[in-house]
Amino acid sequence: MTVIAASGRVWHRNWLVYRRLWHRSLAFGFLQPVLFLTAMGLGLGAIIPQDADAFGGFEYVVWLGPGLLAAMAMQTATFESTYPIMNKIMWGRNYEAMLSTPLQIRNIVWGELGWSAFRIGSLAVVFLVVLFLFGVPRSPMAVLAIPFTILIGLAFSSCLIAFTATQKNDVGFSAVFRFVINPLFLFSGTFFPLTQLPDGLQLVAWATPLFHGVELVRGSILGTLDPLAAVLHLAYLLTMFAIGTWLAERTLTRRMAG
């Protein structure tokens, strides 16, 4: 088997499990942005002064929507790469069974990443439809938001699979959710522009991955993407994805050997 075909088997296994749940997953994938955009976008937007130029001249809901799409990718990737992976490592022991076939660690990691890309891509399409319903997109470049969103997901998935493979139980996940993912969700320019933060914190925020994802997705949907900056953001996320994949193969190899 080539690497791709073998990884496809792992992907296919996830699909067989997911088949019973996909309609529900997409329904929630639709409902969540609708709720967030109605509450935070329109509700909170109603008390934000109209002349506030902090949002690049856009209404708050228009500015917020793409940021939420990027954040959704991070959150879905995080969830998909923690408990389900932990389950396949030690509770359900699926990987042990897979490794007794011609499948190898690399196929598992790539298969899971491919799965993550598929899940996030399908949710991104649904999210984009919601954004259209709210009249958010300002540019045909908005379709680029789908590959950008998938890249955000892959960057986070790969790093989190690497992390999950090092954990002996699920206690560490709480710390990651609360101290890494939640702050990234709130402080990456999703809800408010980073210029609102003190200078020192702004520098920290610029160094974090979700900020680059938010910039890419927002820039493509609102048509404000600067090509040079886009290259920088893409380079950041691709590097994170590459390092994460390399680490995931290493940590999972060590874990499954031990």
Partner 1 sequence: MTSLAPAAQPAPAPANPLAVAWARLWRSRRLVERNILVYRHQWIIIFSGVFEPIFYLIAIGFGIGGIVGNVPPQFVEGREISYLAFAAPALLATAAMNGAVFETIFNVFFKLNYAKTYDGVLATPMGITEIALGEMLWALFRAALYAVAMFVIMLVLGLILSPWGLLIIPAALLVAAAFAAAGLAGTSYLRTVNDFDVPMGLIVMPMFLFSGTFFPIEVYPEPVQWLVQLTPLYHAINLIRGLSLGMVGLPQLWDFIYLVAFFAICLTLAMRQMEKRLIK
Write down the least CB distance from residue 131 to partner 1, Å.
17
By the rule CB under 8 A, 228 interacts with partner 1: no
Residue 16 binding partner 1, by CB under 8 A: no
Query: With binding defined as CB under 8 A, does residue 79 bind partner 1?
Result: no
Shortest Cβ distance from residue 192 to partner 1 (Å)? 4
CB atoms within 10 A of CB 128: 23
Cβ at position 83, least distance to partner 1 in Å: 8
Count of residues in the chain: 258
Interaction between residue 52 and partner 1 (CB under 8 A): yes
Q: Per CB under 8 A, which region of 23-31, 116-124, 136-144, 240-248 contacts partner 1?
A: 23-31
CA distance 66 to 127: 9
Ordered alpha helix ranges (H), the chain: 3-18, 22-36, 45-47, 60-80, 83-86, 94-99, 105-133, 145-164, 171-176, 182-187, 199-207, 209-222, 227-257
Measured in whole angstroms, the distance separating CA 240 from the mean position of its chain's CA atoms is 13
In whole angstroms, the minimum distance from the beta carbon of 60 to partner 1 comes to 9
Q: Which parts of 119-138 interact with partner 1 (CB under 8 A)? A: none
Q: With respect to partner 1, which residue has the nearer C-beta, 68 or 103?
A: 68
* 184 neighbors 206 (Cβ within 8 angstroms): no
CB of 93 to partner 1, least distance (A): 16
Which CB, 141 or 197, lies closer to partner 1?
197
CB of 47 to partner 1, least distance (A): 5
- How many angstroms separate the CA atoms of 176 and 198, rounded? 24
Minimal distance in Å, beta carbon 81 to partner 1?
16
**49 belongs to the binding site for partner 1 (CB under 8 A):** yes
Of residues 36 and 118, the one with the C-beta less far from partner 1: 36
> What DSSP letter does each residue of 80-129 carry, written as one string?
HTSHHHHIIIIIS-HHHHHHTTT--HHHHHHHHHHHHHHHHHHHHHHHHH
CB pairs under 8 A, 24+ apart, for 98-105?
A: 98/10, 98/13, 99/256, 102/1, 102/6, 103/6, 103/9, 103/10, 104/6, 105/249, 105/252, 105/253, 105/256
Q: Which of residues 170-199 bind partner 1 (CB under 8 A)?
A: 171-172, 174-175, 177-179, 182-183, 186-187, 191-192, 196-197
Q: Residues interacting with partner 1, by CB under 8 A?
A: 21, 24, 28, 31-32, 35-36, 38-40, 43-44, 46-49, 52, 54, 171-172, 174-175, 177-179, 182-183, 186-187, 191-192, 196-197
